[in-house]
Structure 1
Amino acid sequence: MATAPLGDIEIAYEIDGPDDGEPMLLLMGLGTQLVAWPAEVVDGLAAAGFRVIRLDNRDIGLSSRTPGPPPRRSEVMRAFVHRRAARPDYLIADMASDAVALLDHLEVDVAHVVGVSMGGMIAQQLTIDHPARVRSLVSIMSNTGNRKAGRVSPRLLPTMAMSFTTPRPTDEEEAVRLGVESWRVIAGPLFDADEIEVQVRQAVARSVNPLGTVRQLLAILASPDRTAGLREVTVPTLVVHGLADRLVVPSGGIATAQAVPGSRLLMFPDMGHDLPRPRRAEIVEAIVRNAARAHAVDPARA
Protein backbone atom coordinates (compact mmCIF):
# COMPACT_ATOMS: atom_id res chain seq x y z
CA MET A 1 0.00 0.00 0.00
CA ALA A 2 1.24 3.47 -0.88
CA THR A 3 -0.02 7.04 -0.69
CA ALA A 4 0.28 9.62 -3.45
CA PRO A 5 0.38 13.35 -2.61
CA LEU A 6 -1.90 14.99 -5.18
CA GLY A 7 -2.04 18.68 -4.48
CA ASP A 8 -4.25 19.34 -1.47
CA ILE A 9 -5.14 15.69 -0.91
CA GLU A 10 -3.49 12.30 -0.62
CA ILE A 11 -4.83 9.18 -2.27
CA ALA A 12 -4.00 5.71 -0.96
CA TYR A 13 -3.56 2.99 -3.55
CA GLU A 14 -2.36 -0.56 -4.17
CA ILE A 15 -0.95 -2.15 -7.31
CA ASP A 16 -1.08 -5.83 -8.28
CA GLY A 17 0.04 -7.70 -11.36
CA PRO A 18 3.07 -7.39 -13.65
CA ASP A 19 4.94 -4.08 -13.75
CA ASP A 20 4.83 -4.12 -17.55
CA GLY A 21 1.15 -5.02 -17.77
CA GLU A 22 -1.47 -2.75 -19.25
CA PRO A 23 -2.77 -0.48 -16.47
CA MET A 24 -6.30 -1.17 -15.26
CA LEU A 25 -7.78 1.26 -12.75
CA LEU A 26 -10.41 -0.09 -10.34
CA LEU A 27 -12.75 2.41 -8.66
CA MET A 28 -14.88 1.30 -5.70
CA GLY A 29 -18.28 2.58 -4.59
CA LEU A 30 -19.85 4.78 -1.94
CA GLY A 31 -18.10 4.58 1.43
CA THR A 32 -16.21 1.48 0.33
CA GLN A 33 -12.47 0.95 0.58
CA LEU A 34 -10.15 -0.62 -1.97
CA VAL A 35 -10.06 -3.81 0.13
CA ALA A 36 -13.66 -4.48 -0.96
CA TRP A 37 -12.48 -5.64 -4.38
CA PRO A 38 -12.74 -9.46 -4.22
CA ALA A 39 -9.42 -11.28 -4.53
CA GLU A 40 -10.82 -13.33 -7.43
CA VAL A 41 -11.36 -10.14 -9.42
CA VAL A 42 -7.98 -8.56 -8.64
CA ASP A 43 -6.05 -11.80 -9.06
CA GLY A 44 -7.99 -12.73 -12.19
CA LEU A 45 -7.20 -9.44 -13.90
CA ALA A 46 -3.56 -9.62 -12.79
CA ALA A 47 -3.31 -13.19 -14.12
CA ALA A 48 -4.66 -11.89 -17.44
CA GLY A 49 -1.62 -9.62 -17.61
CA PHE A 50 -2.99 -6.33 -16.31
CA ARG A 51 -1.29 -3.98 -13.88
CA VAL A 52 -4.22 -3.55 -11.50
CA ILE A 53 -4.43 -0.21 -9.66
CA ARG A 54 -6.92 0.13 -6.79
CA LEU A 55 -7.47 3.31 -4.80
CA ASP A 56 -9.36 4.69 -1.83
CA ASN A 57 -11.52 7.55 -3.06
CA ARG A 58 -11.13 10.77 -1.07
CA ASP A 59 -12.79 10.66 2.37
CA ILE A 60 -12.60 6.87 2.59
CA GLY A 61 -9.99 4.39 3.78
CA LEU A 62 -6.49 5.79 4.06
CA SER A 63 -6.99 8.69 1.66
CA SER A 64 -7.41 12.30 2.80
CA ARG A 65 -10.46 13.39 4.74
CA THR A 66 -12.25 16.62 3.89
CA PRO A 67 -11.88 19.24 6.63
CA GLY A 68 -14.68 21.43 7.86
CA PRO A 69 -18.01 21.02 9.66
CA PRO A 70 -20.13 17.98 8.86
CA PRO A 71 -23.36 18.33 6.86
CA ARG A 72 -26.45 18.69 9.01
CA ARG A 73 -28.51 15.54 9.50
CA SER A 74 -31.64 17.23 8.17
CA GLU A 75 -29.76 18.26 5.02
CA VAL A 76 -28.56 14.71 4.44
CA MET A 77 -32.06 13.26 4.86
CA ARG A 78 -33.56 15.87 2.55
CA ALA A 79 -30.87 15.24 -0.07
CA PHE A 80 -31.32 11.47 0.05
CA VAL A 81 -35.11 11.53 -0.14
CA HIS A 82 -35.41 14.31 -2.73
CA ARG A 83 -32.07 13.69 -4.50
CA ARG A 84 -30.93 17.27 -3.96
CA ALA A 85 -27.76 18.36 -2.20
CA ALA A 86 -27.39 22.01 -1.26
CA ARG A 87 -23.77 22.12 -0.12
CA PRO A 88 -21.55 19.35 -1.44
CA ASP A 89 -17.85 19.59 -0.64
CA TYR A 90 -17.03 18.21 -4.10
CA LEU A 91 -18.59 16.45 -7.08
CA ILE A 92 -18.11 13.16 -8.91
CA ALA A 93 -15.99 15.13 -11.42
CA ASP A 94 -13.56 16.02 -8.64
CA MET A 95 -13.13 12.36 -7.71
CA ALA A 96 -12.54 11.60 -11.40
CA SER A 97 -9.83 14.26 -11.37
CA ASP A 98 -8.31 12.57 -8.31
CA ALA A 99 -8.05 9.34 -10.29
CA VAL A 100 -6.40 11.11 -13.23
CA ALA A 101 -3.96 12.79 -10.85
CA LEU A 102 -3.06 9.37 -9.47
CA LEU A 103 -2.41 8.11 -13.01
CA ASP A 104 -0.16 11.14 -13.52
CA HIS A 105 1.67 10.33 -10.28
CA LEU A 106 2.20 6.75 -11.49
CA GLU A 107 3.27 7.99 -14.95
CA VAL A 108 0.39 6.14 -16.58
CA ASP A 109 -0.71 7.79 -19.81
CA VAL A 110 -3.77 5.66 -20.49
CA ALA A 111 -5.61 2.93 -18.61
CA HIS A 112 -8.58 0.60 -18.78
CA VAL A 113 -11.08 1.90 -16.22
CA VAL A 114 -13.51 -0.21 -14.19
CA GLY A 115 -15.92 1.23 -11.63
CA VAL A 116 -18.51 -0.23 -9.27
CA SER A 117 -21.58 1.75 -8.15
CA MET A 118 -20.29 5.26 -7.30
CA GLY A 119 -17.01 4.06 -8.80
CA GLY A 120 -18.92 3.47 -12.05
CA MET A 121 -20.08 7.08 -11.93
CA ILE A 122 -16.49 8.21 -11.43
CA ALA A 123 -15.32 5.96 -14.26
CA GLN A 124 -17.97 7.41 -16.58
CA GLN A 125 -17.05 10.98 -15.68
CA LEU A 126 -13.35 10.25 -16.08
CA THR A 127 -14.01 8.92 -19.58
CA ILE A 128 -16.14 11.95 -20.46
CA ASP A 129 -13.72 14.55 -19.09
CA HIS A 130 -10.43 12.85 -19.98
CA PRO A 131 -11.12 10.64 -23.03
CA ALA A 132 -7.45 10.38 -24.00
CA ARG A 133 -6.66 8.70 -20.66
CA VAL A 134 -9.12 5.80 -21.08
CA ARG A 135 -8.66 2.71 -23.28
CA SER A 136 -11.84 0.93 -22.25
CA LEU A 137 -14.64 1.53 -19.78
CA VAL A 138 -16.56 -0.88 -17.54
CA SER A 139 -19.48 0.45 -15.49
CA ILE A 140 -20.84 -2.03 -12.93
CA MET A 141 -24.15 -1.62 -11.03
CA SER A 142 -24.16 2.13 -11.63
CA ASN A 143 -26.25 4.76 -13.41
CA THR A 144 -25.96 7.84 -15.61
CA GLY A 145 -27.03 10.39 -13.02
CA ASN A 146 -30.42 10.71 -14.70
CA ARG A 147 -32.86 10.94 -11.78
CA LYS A 148 -35.39 8.75 -13.63
CA ALA A 149 -33.15 5.68 -14.01
CA GLY A 150 -31.26 3.61 -11.48
CA ARG A 151 -32.91 5.01 -8.38
CA VAL A 152 -33.09 3.29 -5.01
CA SER A 153 -35.99 0.85 -4.79
CA PRO A 154 -38.84 2.49 -2.85
CA ARG A 155 -38.88 -0.48 -0.46
CA LEU A 156 -35.23 0.12 0.40
CA LEU A 157 -35.42 3.90 0.68
CA PRO A 158 -36.40 4.22 4.39
CA THR A 159 -33.70 1.79 5.50
CA MET A 160 -31.00 3.52 3.46
CA ALA A 161 -32.06 7.00 4.56
CA MET A 162 -31.83 6.00 8.21
CA SER A 163 -28.42 4.40 7.67
CA PHE A 164 -27.00 7.76 6.59
CA THR A 165 -28.44 9.68 9.53
CA THR A 166 -27.96 7.27 12.45
CA PRO A 167 -24.77 7.72 14.51
CA ARG A 168 -22.31 4.90 13.93
CA PRO A 169 -21.19 2.70 16.85
CA THR A 170 -17.80 3.15 18.46
CA ASP A 171 -17.64 -0.52 19.47
CA GLU A 172 -15.70 -2.53 16.87
CA GLU A 173 -17.89 -5.66 17.05
CA GLU A 174 -21.06 -3.62 16.66
CA ALA A 175 -19.50 -1.78 13.72
CA VAL A 176 -18.70 -5.10 12.05
CA ARG A 177 -22.20 -6.43 12.70
CA LEU A 178 -23.84 -3.35 11.23
CA GLY A 179 -21.45 -3.45 8.27
CA VAL A 180 -22.42 -7.03 7.45
CA GLU A 181 -26.11 -6.21 7.81
CA SER A 182 -25.73 -3.21 5.52
CA TRP A 183 -24.29 -5.45 2.82
CA ARG A 184 -27.01 -8.04 3.42
CA VAL A 185 -29.70 -5.43 2.72
CA ILE A 186 -28.33 -4.49 -0.71
CA ALA A 187 -26.85 -7.82 -1.82
CA GLY A 188 -28.58 -10.39 -3.98
CA PRO A 189 -29.51 -14.02 -3.29
CA LEU A 190 -25.88 -15.16 -3.50
CA PHE A 191 -24.89 -13.15 -0.41
CA ASP A 192 -22.10 -14.80 1.62
CA ALA A 193 -22.20 -13.44 5.18
CA ASP A 194 -18.98 -15.15 6.27
CA GLU A 195 -16.99 -13.69 3.40
CA ILE A 196 -18.45 -10.23 3.91
CA GLU A 197 -17.64 -10.34 7.62
CA VAL A 198 -13.96 -10.90 6.80
CA GLN A 199 -14.03 -7.97 4.39
CA VAL A 200 -15.84 -5.69 6.84
CA ARG A 201 -13.42 -6.55 9.66
CA GLN A 202 -10.51 -5.68 7.41
CA ALA A 203 -12.11 -2.36 6.49
CA VAL A 204 -12.98 -1.47 10.10
CA ALA A 205 -9.44 -2.27 11.24
CA ARG A 206 -8.04 -0.18 8.42
CA SER A 207 -10.16 2.96 8.76
CA VAL A 208 -13.64 4.10 9.81
CA ASN A 209 -15.02 7.40 8.50
CA PRO A 210 -18.85 7.51 8.35
CA LEU A 211 -18.74 11.24 7.64
CA GLY A 212 -16.77 10.51 4.47
CA THR A 213 -19.61 8.33 3.22
CA VAL A 214 -22.05 11.19 3.81
CA ARG A 215 -19.85 13.65 1.93
CA GLN A 216 -19.58 11.20 -0.98
CA LEU A 217 -23.37 10.72 -1.00
CA LEU A 218 -23.88 14.47 -1.28
CA ALA A 219 -21.39 14.52 -4.16
CA ILE A 220 -23.43 11.87 -5.99
CA LEU A 221 -26.70 13.71 -5.47
CA ALA A 222 -25.30 17.09 -6.53
CA SER A 223 -23.52 15.87 -9.67
CA PRO A 224 -25.19 16.49 -13.04
CA ASP A 225 -26.64 13.93 -15.41
CA ARG A 226 -23.87 12.31 -17.47
CA THR A 227 -26.12 11.06 -20.31
CA ALA A 228 -25.12 13.68 -22.88
CA GLY A 229 -21.44 13.13 -22.17
CA LEU A 230 -21.82 9.37 -22.37
CA ARG A 231 -23.26 9.70 -25.87
CA GLU A 232 -19.84 11.03 -26.94
CA VAL A 233 -17.85 8.10 -25.48
CA THR A 234 -16.00 6.17 -28.18
CA VAL A 235 -13.95 3.64 -26.21
CA PRO A 236 -15.16 0.03 -25.86
CA THR A 237 -17.68 -0.01 -23.03
CA LEU A 238 -19.17 -2.81 -20.97
CA VAL A 239 -22.10 -2.30 -18.58
CA VAL A 240 -22.73 -4.93 -15.90
CA HIS A 241 -25.79 -4.99 -13.66
CA GLY A 242 -27.73 -7.35 -11.44
CA LEU A 243 -31.44 -7.81 -11.96
CA ALA A 244 -31.80 -8.22 -8.18
CA ASP A 245 -30.17 -4.84 -7.45
CA ARG A 246 -32.38 -2.71 -5.19
CA LEU A 247 -29.88 0.05 -4.40
CA VAL A 248 -29.37 1.01 -8.05
CA VAL A 249 -32.27 -0.67 -9.82
CA PRO A 250 -31.50 -2.29 -13.21
CA SER A 251 -32.82 0.67 -15.19
CA GLY A 252 -29.57 2.42 -14.23
CA GLY A 253 -27.48 -0.11 -16.12
CA ILE A 254 -29.89 -0.18 -19.04
CA ALA A 255 -29.81 3.62 -19.33
CA THR A 256 -26.00 3.58 -19.23
CA ALA A 257 -25.78 1.01 -22.02
CA GLN A 258 -28.31 2.92 -24.09
CA ALA A 259 -26.35 6.13 -23.71
CA VAL A 260 -22.93 4.82 -24.82
CA PRO A 261 -22.72 4.00 -28.54
CA GLY A 262 -21.67 0.43 -29.21
CA SER A 263 -21.67 -0.57 -25.54
CA ARG A 264 -22.42 -4.09 -24.39
CA LEU A 265 -24.80 -4.93 -21.54
CA LEU A 266 -24.32 -7.95 -19.27
CA MET A 267 -27.04 -8.61 -16.67
CA PHE A 268 -27.20 -11.37 -14.06
CA PRO A 269 -30.53 -12.52 -12.64
CA ASP A 270 -29.03 -13.57 -9.28
CA MET A 271 -26.83 -10.53 -8.64
CA GLY A 272 -27.83 -7.61 -6.40
CA HIS A 273 -25.67 -4.65 -5.46
CA ASP A 274 -22.64 -6.85 -4.93
CA LEU A 275 -20.03 -8.94 -6.73
CA PRO A 276 -21.11 -12.48 -5.76
CA ARG A 277 -18.49 -15.20 -5.83
CA PRO A 278 -20.29 -17.44 -8.38
CA ARG A 279 -20.31 -14.58 -10.91
CA ARG A 280 -16.78 -13.23 -10.45
CA ALA A 281 -15.05 -15.39 -13.05
CA GLU A 282 -17.65 -14.37 -15.65
CA ILE A 283 -17.26 -10.71 -14.74
CA VAL A 284 -13.46 -10.90 -15.01
CA GLU A 285 -13.74 -12.66 -18.37
CA ALA A 286 -16.14 -9.97 -19.62
CA ILE A 287 -13.80 -7.17 -18.46
CA VAL A 288 -10.86 -8.81 -20.23
CA ARG A 289 -12.90 -9.24 -23.43
CA ASN A 290 -13.93 -5.59 -23.31
CA ALA A 291 -10.28 -4.54 -22.94
CA ALA A 292 -9.43 -6.69 -25.95
CA ARG A 293 -11.93 -4.68 -27.99
CA ALA A 294 -9.64 -1.68 -27.47
CA HIS A 295 -6.85 -3.62 -29.13
CA ALA A 296 -9.08 -4.33 -32.11
CA VAL A 297 -9.85 -0.63 -32.43
CA ASP A 298 -6.20 0.38 -32.13
CA PRO A 299 -3.94 -2.62 -32.93
CA ALA A 300 -0.80 -0.47 -32.68
CA ARG A 301 -1.36 -0.13 -28.93
CA ALA A 302 -2.08 -3.82 -28.27
Structure 2
Amino acid sequence: MGNGNDALSWPPNFIAHLVDRGYQVIRYDHRGTGLSTSKEKWKKKKAYSLNDMADDVVAILDTLDVKKAHVIGVSMGGMIAQIVAIENPERTASLTSIMSSAHVMDSELPPMSNKIVPKMISAILKHGFFGGKKGQIKRQIIQKRILMGEATGEIDTRTMAETSLYNLKERDGYKLISARHHYVAILNSKSRYEALSQLPIPTLVIHGEVDPVMPISHGKKMVRAMAQADSLWINNMGHDLPDLELEEMTDRMILNFERGTQ
Protein backbone atom coordinates (compact mmCIF):
# COMPACT_ATOMS: atom_id res chain seq x y z
CA MET A 1 0.00 0.00 0.00
CA GLY A 2 0.92 3.67 -0.04
CA ASN A 3 2.50 6.10 2.39
CA GLY A 4 1.23 5.61 5.96
CA ASN A 5 -1.26 2.92 4.98
CA ASP A 6 -1.68 -0.61 6.25
CA ALA A 7 -3.08 -3.90 4.93
CA LEU A 8 -6.70 -2.88 5.46
CA SER A 9 -6.31 0.13 3.17
CA TRP A 10 -6.83 -2.15 0.17
CA PRO A 11 -10.49 -1.90 -0.94
CA PRO A 12 -12.33 -5.17 -0.17
CA ASN A 13 -13.68 -5.33 -3.74
CA PHE A 14 -10.15 -5.10 -5.13
CA ILE A 15 -9.20 -8.18 -3.11
CA ALA A 16 -12.48 -9.94 -3.92
CA HIS A 17 -12.01 -9.59 -7.69
CA LEU A 18 -8.65 -11.38 -7.45
CA VAL A 19 -9.82 -14.06 -5.02
CA ASP A 20 -12.88 -14.77 -7.18
CA ARG A 21 -10.53 -15.47 -10.09
CA GLY A 22 -8.66 -18.05 -8.02
CA TYR A 23 -5.73 -16.05 -6.69
CA GLN A 24 -4.47 -16.04 -3.11
CA VAL A 25 -3.88 -12.47 -1.91
CA ILE A 26 -1.26 -11.57 0.68
CA ARG A 27 -1.61 -8.15 2.32
CA TYR A 28 0.69 -6.83 5.01
CA ASP A 29 1.23 -3.84 7.27
CA HIS A 30 4.07 -1.48 6.41
CA ARG A 31 6.56 -0.65 9.15
CA GLY A 32 4.86 1.36 11.86
CA THR A 33 1.29 0.65 10.65
CA GLY A 34 -1.39 -1.76 11.80
CA LEU A 35 0.14 -4.63 13.76
CA SER A 36 3.66 -4.01 12.49
CA THR A 37 6.13 -2.78 15.08
CA SER A 38 9.85 -2.03 15.16
CA LYS A 39 12.29 -2.87 17.94
CA GLU A 40 14.55 0.04 16.98
CA LYS A 41 13.58 3.68 17.48
CA TRP A 42 13.43 5.56 14.17
CA LYS A 43 16.23 8.10 13.71
CA LYS A 44 16.61 10.36 10.70
CA LYS A 45 20.35 9.66 10.42
CA LYS A 46 19.61 5.93 10.36
CA ALA A 47 16.25 6.05 8.62
CA TYR A 48 15.09 2.91 6.87
CA SER A 49 14.86 3.02 3.09
CA LEU A 50 12.44 1.78 0.45
CA ASN A 51 14.97 -1.00 -0.15
CA ASP A 52 14.59 -2.04 3.49
CA MET A 53 10.83 -2.02 3.03
CA ALA A 54 11.24 -4.18 -0.08
CA ASP A 55 13.25 -6.63 2.02
CA ASP A 56 10.19 -6.84 4.29
CA VAL A 57 8.18 -8.17 1.34
CA VAL A 58 10.72 -10.89 0.62
CA ALA A 59 10.84 -11.80 4.32
CA ILE A 60 7.06 -12.27 4.28
CA LEU A 61 7.27 -14.50 1.20
CA ASP A 62 10.02 -16.53 2.88
CA THR A 63 7.96 -16.90 6.06
CA LEU A 64 4.94 -18.10 4.08
CA ASP A 65 7.15 -20.36 1.92
CA VAL A 66 6.02 -18.60 -1.28
CA LYS A 67 8.67 -19.08 -3.94
CA LYS A 68 7.24 -16.67 -6.51
CA ALA A 69 4.48 -14.06 -6.48
CA HIS A 70 2.75 -11.44 -8.60
CA VAL A 71 3.82 -8.21 -6.89
CA ILE A 72 1.40 -5.26 -6.78
CA GLY A 73 2.00 -1.84 -5.29
CA VAL A 74 0.13 1.47 -5.00
CA SER A 75 1.94 4.84 -4.83
CA MET A 76 4.83 4.30 -2.37
CA GLY A 77 3.91 0.62 -2.53
CA GLY A 78 4.48 0.75 -6.30
CA MET A 79 8.02 2.00 -5.67
CA ILE A 80 8.59 -0.82 -3.21
CA ALA A 81 7.15 -3.34 -5.66
CA GLN A 82 9.54 -2.08 -8.34
CA ILE A 83 12.50 -2.63 -6.01
CA VAL A 84 11.28 -6.13 -5.12
CA ALA A 85 11.16 -7.00 -8.82
CA ILE A 86 14.55 -5.41 -9.57
CA GLU A 87 16.37 -7.09 -6.69
CA ASN A 88 14.47 -10.39 -6.76
CA PRO A 89 13.40 -11.15 -10.35
CA GLU A 90 13.44 -14.88 -9.63
CA ARG A 91 10.78 -14.33 -6.94
CA THR A 92 8.59 -12.01 -9.04
CA ALA A 93 6.16 -13.55 -11.53
CA SER A 94 4.89 -10.13 -12.65
CA LEU A 95 4.88 -6.50 -11.51
CA THR A 96 1.94 -4.11 -11.28
CA SER A 97 2.80 -0.52 -10.38
CA ILE A 98 -0.22 1.70 -9.68
CA MET A 99 -0.19 5.56 -9.50
CA SER A 100 3.52 5.47 -8.73
CA SER A 101 6.88 6.69 -10.02
CA ALA A 102 10.27 5.27 -10.94
CA HIS A 103 11.94 8.43 -9.61
CA VAL A 104 9.96 10.93 -7.56
CA MET A 105 12.77 13.50 -7.77
CA ASP A 106 13.02 13.35 -11.58
CA SER A 107 13.82 16.95 -12.60
CA GLU A 108 12.33 16.36 -16.05
CA LEU A 109 8.87 15.67 -14.65
CA PRO A 110 6.38 17.65 -12.57
CA PRO A 111 7.00 16.90 -8.88
CA MET A 112 4.61 15.28 -6.48
CA SER A 113 2.00 17.91 -5.78
CA ASN A 114 1.79 19.61 -2.38
CA LYS A 115 -1.50 21.35 -3.17
CA ILE A 116 -3.59 18.84 -1.24
CA VAL A 117 -1.27 18.74 1.79
CA PRO A 118 -3.00 21.61 3.66
CA LYS A 119 -6.37 19.91 3.16
CA MET A 120 -5.00 16.58 4.40
CA ILE A 121 -3.40 18.22 7.46
CA SER A 122 -6.61 20.13 8.17
CA ALA A 123 -8.58 16.87 8.17
CA ILE A 124 -6.07 15.32 10.58
CA LEU A 125 -6.08 18.29 12.94
CA LYS A 126 -9.86 18.58 12.89
CA HIS A 127 -10.80 14.91 13.14
CA GLY A 128 -7.70 12.78 13.67
CA PHE A 129 -6.46 14.00 17.04
CA PHE A 130 -9.45 15.28 18.95
CA GLY A 131 -12.49 13.64 17.39
CA GLY A 132 -12.22 10.19 18.96
CA LYS A 133 -13.05 7.08 16.93
CA LYS A 134 -15.88 8.79 15.03
CA GLY A 135 -13.55 11.66 14.16
CA GLN A 136 -10.84 9.37 12.85
CA ILE A 137 -13.35 7.51 10.70
CA LYS A 138 -14.60 10.83 9.32
CA ARG A 139 -10.99 11.90 8.66
CA GLN A 140 -10.34 8.85 6.49
CA ILE A 141 -13.47 9.42 4.43
CA ILE A 142 -12.62 13.11 3.96
CA GLN A 143 -9.05 12.30 2.96
CA LYS A 144 -10.24 9.71 0.44
CA ARG A 145 -12.38 12.39 -1.19
CA ILE A 146 -9.39 14.75 -1.26
CA LEU A 147 -7.20 12.10 -2.91
CA MET A 148 -9.84 11.54 -5.59
CA GLY A 149 -9.11 15.06 -6.85
CA GLU A 150 -11.33 15.87 -9.82
CA ALA A 151 -12.47 12.27 -10.24
CA THR A 152 -16.14 11.58 -9.61
CA GLY A 153 -17.85 8.61 -7.99
CA GLU A 154 -19.50 7.42 -4.82
CA ILE A 155 -17.54 6.44 -1.71
CA ASP A 156 -18.60 3.28 0.11
CA THR A 157 -18.70 5.06 3.45
CA ARG A 158 -20.29 2.11 5.28
CA THR A 159 -17.47 -0.29 4.40
CA MET A 160 -14.86 2.38 5.13
CA ALA A 161 -16.43 3.09 8.52
CA GLU A 162 -16.63 -0.60 9.47
CA THR A 163 -13.02 -1.21 8.40
CA SER A 164 -11.76 1.91 10.18
CA LEU A 165 -13.57 1.03 13.41
CA TYR A 166 -12.14 -2.49 13.36
CA ASN A 167 -8.68 -1.06 12.69
CA LEU A 168 -8.96 1.37 15.61
CA LYS A 169 -10.22 -1.25 18.04
CA GLU A 170 -8.09 -4.24 17.06
CA ARG A 171 -5.05 -2.95 15.18
CA ASP A 172 -3.95 0.29 16.88
CA GLY A 173 -5.24 2.53 14.12
CA TYR A 174 -3.43 5.16 12.05
CA LYS A 175 -0.04 6.58 13.10
CA LEU A 176 0.81 9.96 11.56
CA ILE A 177 4.48 9.62 12.55
CA SER A 178 4.84 6.45 10.45
CA ALA A 179 3.63 8.33 7.38
CA ARG A 180 6.41 10.85 8.00
CA HIS A 181 8.99 8.06 8.19
CA HIS A 182 7.70 6.58 4.94
CA TYR A 183 7.87 10.00 3.26
CA VAL A 184 11.55 10.32 4.19
CA ALA A 185 12.18 6.91 2.61
CA ILE A 186 10.44 8.06 -0.57
CA LEU A 187 12.47 11.28 -0.83
CA ASN A 188 15.73 9.38 -0.26
CA SER A 189 15.05 6.85 -3.02
CA LYS A 190 17.06 6.90 -6.25
CA SER A 191 16.09 6.56 -9.90
CA ARG A 192 15.02 3.08 -11.00
CA TYR A 193 14.63 3.79 -14.74
CA GLU A 194 17.77 1.95 -15.86
CA ALA A 195 17.17 -1.09 -13.67
CA LEU A 196 13.53 -1.28 -14.77
CA SER A 197 14.53 -1.05 -18.44
CA GLN A 198 16.41 -4.32 -18.01
CA LEU A 199 13.70 -6.09 -16.03
CA PRO A 200 12.69 -9.38 -17.73
CA ILE A 201 9.30 -9.49 -16.01
CA PRO A 202 5.83 -8.70 -17.40
CA THR A 203 4.91 -5.28 -16.04
CA LEU A 204 1.68 -3.32 -15.96
CA VAL A 205 1.62 0.40 -15.12
CA ILE A 206 -1.73 1.87 -14.04
CA HIS A 207 -2.29 5.57 -13.43
CA GLY A 208 -5.18 7.99 -13.12
CA GLU A 209 -5.47 10.85 -15.59
CA VAL A 210 -6.50 13.28 -12.82
CA ASP A 211 -4.12 12.16 -10.08
CA PRO A 212 -3.73 15.19 -7.74
CA VAL A 213 -0.61 13.79 -6.03
CA MET A 214 1.55 11.91 -8.54
CA PRO A 215 1.27 13.39 -12.06
CA ILE A 216 0.48 10.76 -14.70
CA SER A 217 3.66 11.78 -16.56
CA HIS A 218 5.56 9.69 -13.99
CA GLY A 219 3.66 6.58 -15.02
CA LYS A 220 4.07 7.33 -18.72
CA LYS A 221 7.83 7.84 -18.44
CA MET A 222 8.12 4.54 -16.59
CA VAL A 223 6.35 2.77 -19.46
CA ARG A 224 8.63 4.40 -22.04
CA ALA A 225 11.64 3.12 -20.10
CA MET A 226 10.39 -0.47 -20.18
CA ALA A 227 10.06 -2.11 -23.58
CA GLN A 228 7.86 -4.93 -22.22
CA ALA A 229 5.58 -2.82 -20.02
CA ASP A 230 1.86 -2.58 -20.64
CA SER A 231 -0.20 0.39 -19.46
CA LEU A 232 -3.69 1.36 -18.36
CA TRP A 233 -4.54 5.06 -18.11
CA ILE A 234 -7.86 5.66 -16.36
CA ASN A 235 -9.69 8.90 -17.09
CA ASN A 236 -11.84 9.11 -13.95
CA MET A 237 -9.19 8.21 -11.38
CA GLY A 238 -7.23 10.35 -8.93
CA HIS A 239 -4.73 9.14 -6.33
CA ASP A 240 -7.15 6.50 -5.22
CA LEU A 241 -8.55 3.07 -6.15
CA PRO A 242 -12.07 3.95 -7.36
CA ASP A 243 -14.74 1.26 -6.93
CA LEU A 244 -16.13 1.76 -10.43
CA GLU A 245 -12.73 1.05 -12.03
CA LEU A 246 -11.65 -1.93 -9.91
CA GLU A 247 -12.99 -4.61 -12.23
CA GLU A 248 -11.23 -3.18 -15.28
CA MET A 249 -8.03 -2.76 -13.29
CA THR A 250 -8.01 -6.30 -11.92
CA ASP A 251 -8.93 -7.78 -15.32
CA ARG A 252 -5.88 -6.08 -16.86
CA MET A 253 -3.75 -7.17 -13.93
CA ILE A 254 -4.77 -10.79 -14.46
CA LEU A 255 -3.81 -10.53 -18.14
CA ASN A 256 -0.41 -9.37 -16.94
CA PHE A 257 -0.28 -12.27 -14.46
CA GLU A 258 -0.90 -14.68 -17.31
CA ARG A 259 1.98 -13.18 -19.28
CA GLY A 260 4.15 -14.02 -16.26
CA THR A 261 3.08 -17.64 -16.04
CA GLN A 262 3.30 -18.63 -19.71
TM over 0.5: yes
| Counterpart position of 2:167 | 203
Amino acid of the residue matched to residue 169 of structure 1? Answer: F
Q: Where does the alignment leave 5 or more consecutive residues of structure 2 unmatched?
A: none
| Counterpart position of 2:259 | 293
Spell out the pairing of 1:1-302 with structure 2 (5 A cutoff): 28-65=1-38, 67-68=40-41, 87=45, 89-148=47-106, 149=109, 151-159=111-119, 168-170=128-130, 171-187=132-148, 188-192=151-155, 194=157, 195-205=159-169, 206-208=171-173, 209-296=175-262
Change (3 A) 1:33 1:150: farther
CA distance in 2, matches of 1:122, 1:177: 29
Change (3 A) 1:37 1:185: same
The answer to whether the 8 Å contact 2:123/2:142 transfers is no
CA distance in 2, matches of 1:40, 1:133: 26
With structure 2 as the length reference, what TM-score do the two structures score?
Answer: 0.88
CA distance in 2, matches of 1:193, 1:94: 34
Q: CA deviation at 1:156?
A: 2.6
Change (3 A) 1:36 1:65: same
Secondary structure of 2:26's counterpart equals strand
Secondary structure of 1:152's counterpart equals coil
List per-residue Cα deviations over 1:79-136 (Å, max 9, x = no partner): xxxxxxx646211110100100111111111111011111111100101111111010
Secondary structure of 1:144's counterpart equals coil
Q: CA RMSD in A?
A: 2.4
Q: Where does the alignment leave 5 or more consecutive residues of structure 1 unmatched?
A: 1-27, 72-85, 297-302
Secondary structure of 1:115's counterpart equals strand
The answer to whether the 8 Å contact 2:73/2:96 transfers is yes
CA distance in 2, matches of 1:139, 1:150: 19
Change (3 A) 1:258 1:202: farther
Higher relative contact order (CA 8 A, sep 6+): 2
Q: CA deviation at 1:157?
A: 4.6
Change (3 A) 1:202 1:189: farther
The answer to whether the 8 Å contact 2:96/2:204 transfers is yes
Q: CA deviation at 1:228?
A: 1.7
Amino acid of the residue matched to residue 47 of structure 2? Answer: D
Amino acid of the residue matched to residue 145 of structure 2? Answer: R
Structure having the higher helix fraction is 2
Structure having the higher strand fraction is 1
Change (3 A) 1:247 1:240: same
With structure 1 as the length reference, what TM-score do the two structures score?
Answer: 0.77
